[in-house]
Chain A
């Protein structure tokens, strides 16, 4: 059994984050579907090539799930590291146009390997329009119906996370998904303290500029 080394207050907040995230996603989904059916289908995965930034807390939830469900393999870790190096400090538009797949996307089945614990931004990304209009090549020209607006829901969630992280002296509250999960590995193992996360992220950033 994995021995978690996070402070109890963080452990408790992770549980609350998970519950809050699920509630927000279900409410959003219920409201979106009540207007008209969403046209998303299993195996589409166009949105899995979008830049995804999440908080260290969502990174911890993803890391925990991957380890307890036997998905934290050397191959998965390598994919996360490669993704992290490739996307370090990358402009979001360039990221979007470069066809960089999410490291949690199984490119053979076109499914998310961590679907049950996917970040809130992924849960809120849905479309009423043509699924093909979600492709990067349709950027700036696609129908406005394509992405159901979710920014207000996401911003509200991030505001809460940011407030919590600031009480633990963490100011860098958003990281790329791969970086968030890789730092979560260090946080969960106890090799990195929460209040030293900013310094670790900054050091990593400086390294990525070389």
Chain B
């Protein structure tokens, strides 16, 4: 199976299955039916599980992608995503 992050073929890894709520939300936001599951190889999954490294990876990937598309505010948008992910990873604060 192909890893969704590094695109390498791997036999071992982690598969994330979307719940019905998540599928419906993705369909509503993007207008396209999302994949039923996402596969990540073991090394990439290890990074995604780390709150800080995972957020940094998503931030960097987003910024690189936005820059490649010529979006001028790429850095700020990616930084906001990073802050959002870190806050979500922190969980609910009492």
- Where the two chains meet, the residues of A that have a C-beta atom closer than 8 Å to any C-beta of B are 85-91, 93-94, 97-100, 136-141, 208-210
- Whether the Cβ atoms of A97 and B6 lie closer than 8 Å is no
Cβ-Cβ contact count across A and B, 8 Å cutoff: 66
Closest to B60 in A: A97
- Where the two chains meet, the residues of B that have a C-beta atom closer than 8 Å to any C-beta of A are 5-6, 8, 12, 42-44, 46-47, 50, 52-54, 56-57, 59-61, 63-64, 67-68, 75, 78
Residues of A with C-beta under 8 A to B67:
137-138, 140-141
Known: A91-B6, A208-B42. A98 touches B57 (CB 8 A): yes
Identify whether the interface residues of A are mostly helix, strand, loop, or mixed. Answer: loop
Once bound together, how far apart are the Cα atoms of A208 and B42, in whole Å? 8
Once bound together, how far apart are the Cα atoms of A91 and B3, in whole Å? 11
Contact pick for B43, options A94, A97, A99, A140, CB 8 Å:
A94
- Whether the Cβ atoms of A136 and B44 lie closer than 8 Å is no
Closest to A89 in B: B43
Min distance, Cβ B52 to any Cβ of chain A, angstroms: 7
Closest to B59 in A: A137
- Whether the Cβ atoms of B53 and A100 lie closer than 8 Å is yes
Residues of A with C-beta under 8 A to B5:
91, 94
Identify whether the interface residues of B are mostly helix, strand, loop, or mixed. Answer: helix
Closest to A92 in B: B6
Known: A86-B50, A99-B52. A137 touches B75 (CB 8 A): yes
Once bound together, how far apart are the Cα atoms of A209 and B59, in whole Å? 25
Once bound together, how far apart are the Cα atoms of A198 and B94, in whole Å? 51
Known: A90-B43, A209-B42. A97 touches B64 (CB 8 A): yes
- Whether the Cβ atoms of B64 and A141 lie closer than 8 Å is yes
A-B contact pairs, 19 of them (CB 8 A): A88-B46, A89-B43, A90-B43, A90-B46, A91-B8, A91-B43, A91-B44, A93-B6, A97-B57, A97-B61, A97-B64, A98-B47, A98-B53, A98-B56, A99-B56, A136-B60, A137-B78, A141-B64, A208-B42
- Whether the Cβ atoms of A97 and B42 lie closer than 8 Å is no
